Chain A
Amino acid sequence: MNDQSDIQVFPTITWSAGAGCHGGCGQQLHVKDGKLIKVEGDENSPWNQGRACPRVLALTQYVYHPDRITTPLKRVGNRGEGKFEPISWDEAFDTCEARMRDIREKHGAEAVIFAQGTGRDIGGPISFLAYNYGSPNWCQLGLSGQSCYTPRLGAMKTSTGEFMVLDASQFSEKRYEDPEWEVPKVIIVWGQNPPPTCPDGFFGHWIVDCMQRGSQIISIDPRYTWMSTRAKYHLQIRPGTDGALALGMLNVIIREELYDKEFVEKWTYGFDKLCERVKAYPPDKVSDITWVPEDLIVEAARLYATSKPAAIHWGVPIDMCPQGTTVAQAISHLWTITGNVDIPGGNVIARPTQGVTTYPYTTEELVELYGQELVDKLNQKRIGCDTYPMVKNFRGWAQPDMAIDQIASGKPYPIKGAWIQTANILGGQAARAKFHYEALKKLDFVVVVDLFHNPTTMALADIVLPAATFAEKDSFRAWWTPLAVIQKTIQVGECKSDWEINFEMARRLNDSGIKYNSVKELINERLAVANTNFDELAAKGPRTMPEDGPFKPYRRHERGLLRKDGKPGFETSTGKIELYCKAYESWGLDPLPFYDEPPQSPVTTPELFEKYPLIMITGARSSLFFHSEHRMIPWLREKDPEPYVEVHPETAKKYGVLDGEWIYLENDLGKVKRKVRCSLRVHPQMIHTLHGWWMPEMEGKEPDLFGVWDYQINQLIPGPQHSDSGFGGGQYKTTLVKLSSMIKQGGNNG
């Protein structure tokens, strides 16, 4: 037992590494003699109210894990040999500087790609480095169609001028006690299982909080989940058909005149055109497409439209639909035409808190940070900019499918280097994982910034830089709410924060110099717009919204708080929410939502379906892991030890596989090992398996690469079929496969 008097308690805010999440949670770090000994949920945090998740409570095992990389490393053998030597930070920075300068001189700055994953506070520091180096090629390399939130963000921004989220009173310090807030009477949970995860600035269990306060759930999910089994209606949808379902629900709500006539009249543009379009999607036809019974579609649409307030909470499968940006558009039209916009308990407008940019989501924010001139200049070379209007106009990413094709082909210009940070591309997000491996292996210079060795560091890295967990760094967070700083409480080895690493590299690589002397100066400059600074937020704690102004709900469109000109309405060309999207129209995209079949499906590719008769859903979340992380953490791994595949008992019987048997999932791209878990969770014609699996306990060097080629499910996810907009359409939920017995193939079972 610890003597309590020696223990210091530091309140801080999470944002990934360690906890593995999108952050926002208040946690107290208990430190004794400079060492983290315990994590406790912070009861003073309105966000989580003392709660925690298994990953953050396992932080001591993560931080002090014997496999943590704690010094910079350089590769001394061939790529893949697993031979690395510790070097000093000076040598590491010198090497990176020299090699990246060399590439820039010979091939231009655009020849280095800056690849991130989804974790940590990464968007800020990696874009800072890319822009100071002069490369426009920043993206989540491997994430086909950039199919994670970007399509939804893009659809919302272009048709409403804003982003919107379910209102669980997160913008009020009083939370559920705030008299202005109302419990959503109905919540549509569309394509997500919120409890194991905290997606996109949202605490998953807030929906459970709402259920305990009376919210009824409509669950749209191909799997049975805890939430779907407690829902009023569960729509067991065929993966990838969400666009048709949204159009079918719009059809019912419009045909039965259940929409909010006053809101539609006053605040929307193009309703008549939407009415025409949805006529093509009557519920019987939509039922055929989605496999959801017609009466369920009708009843769910009626319940949602006749309950006010009602809210929609959505997940990544929407982005991963064909035409993800248009599917998101259709779903957002549901909350618009029912008048659930920016009302208590509806879908409320969310902006980066108090105008602070930590992670530039939009081109506007990039321009604010780096100036129009630089952004315009870099856009000339940005991969995908010329091809896809939304890539050009909404968000400063390179288009990831095109990026890897360009890395492989060298056309239209060669890519020579990669700065990979927070991204285990090969063990994680990369569709066509083997193709990524082959292409990236050929690069002249690869830096990987991470916390543990993984298939990506092993296969590709020339230099590995050791990153800090959230407990070991100063940073800041402004994702919707609250405005908060992350405070460094401990030091592990020589690890540095992503901000510190990228700050030093930017300082070295920008020949015009950077205007800050320290990371803290940079943070303070970005916080200045909110009239605060790092030290003040550290001392006073996270700050929710000022009572008045554009950042606090509700009904800001009525009060003239959204438009730059101060007039009531929305920041779009028509001043209204555009059900007929003028921006899409000007970019040559269909301004109205429509439905496209998945590129592989029983309908699109019947012959392939005959060969591979199961629709594979990947990527449901485990509460124990964040994507490809945490497999080496004992307290977590023991609770979810093996990569399993959920197979309906009838399906297992049909294909002659047994519960607990190791089998292959197989298609034309390859085969991957999985352990069968017979489960009623899944539809007989679908299977589900988790993504991000590799085995830290296996051999790291080639050819094993921690077992990645045995277990990495994204080897079976096919290549580019992204949306017309450039964003959306990664086939992570809709790929066709078959099950095959390992024993019958002569393998040793397990």
Chain B
Amino acid sequence: MAKKGILISYDFCTGCQTCAVACQQEHNHPAGKCGIKVTEYIYEAIKKPVAIDYFPFMTELCDLCANRQRNGEEPACVKHCQSFCMKFGRLDELVKDMELKSRTVLFAPR
């Protein structure tokens, strides 16, 4: 079976933290434990006095929601993302998507 992952168009991540709470609810993780961490970075960029980026990034705890996949569902973070900036799929297909989009990162689990 082809390996799967999540493509994140992080330019559209607004930092709302929905993915993190979706993960905690799905896995019943307590506060302090989460399969995804959203980091905020505010900085001076090229030709921009201020840039604001959010980086949603998976942790060791991410199993791409194996239980949900068995029921034919997408990972909880992908489904609930308010910007629709996460896409779940086969890595080889997501790589093709990357060629069309800017400012993306691809997550592949262990």
Contacts and interface: CB of A to CB of B under 8 A. Distances in A.
Contacts of B22: 52, 57
Contacts of B43: 680
Interface in A190-232: 195-196, 204-205, 208-209, 211-212, 224-227, 229-230
Nearest to B23: A57
Given A38-B25, A637-B31, A638-B31, A205 B50 contact: no
Contacts of A204: 82
B21 A58 contact: yes
A57 B80 contact: yes
B79 A41 contact: yes
B84 to A, nearest CB: 8
Contacts of B25: 38-39, 57-58, 60, 635
Interface string B1-44: 00000000001101111101110111000111000000000111
A681 B53 CA distance: 12
A53 interface: yes
A679 B18 contact: no
A680 B102 CA distance: 25
Interface residues of B, number: 33
Given A38-B25, A635-B24, A680 B50 contact: yes
A693 to B, nearest CB: 18
Contacts of B15: 195, 226, 623
Contacts of B18: 51-54, 57, 623
Contacts, number: 99
Interface string B64-82: 0001000100000001111
Interface residues of A, number: 39
A157 to B, nearest CB: 31
A4 interface: yes
Nearest to B83: A208
Given A57-B25, A636-B21, A195 B82 contact: yes
A208 B84 CA distance: 9
A624 interface: yes
Contacts of B26: 38
A653 B47 CA distance: 25
Contacts of A40: 79-80
Nearest to A198: B82
A624 B52 CA distance: 19
Interface string A637-656: 11100000000000000000
A680 B20 contact: no
20 contacts: A1-B67, A4-B71, A40-B79, A51-B80, A51-B82, A52-B18, A57-B18, A195-B82, A196-B16, A208-B83, A212-B12, A212-B84, A224-B42, A226-B15, A226-B54, A230-B11, A623-B15, A638-B32, A639-B21, A679-B42
Report, nearest first, the 9 A-B pairs whose CB atoms are least far apart.
Answer: A195-B14, A634-B31, A54-B21, A638-B31, A623-B16, A205-B82, A224-B50, A57-B21, A52-B80
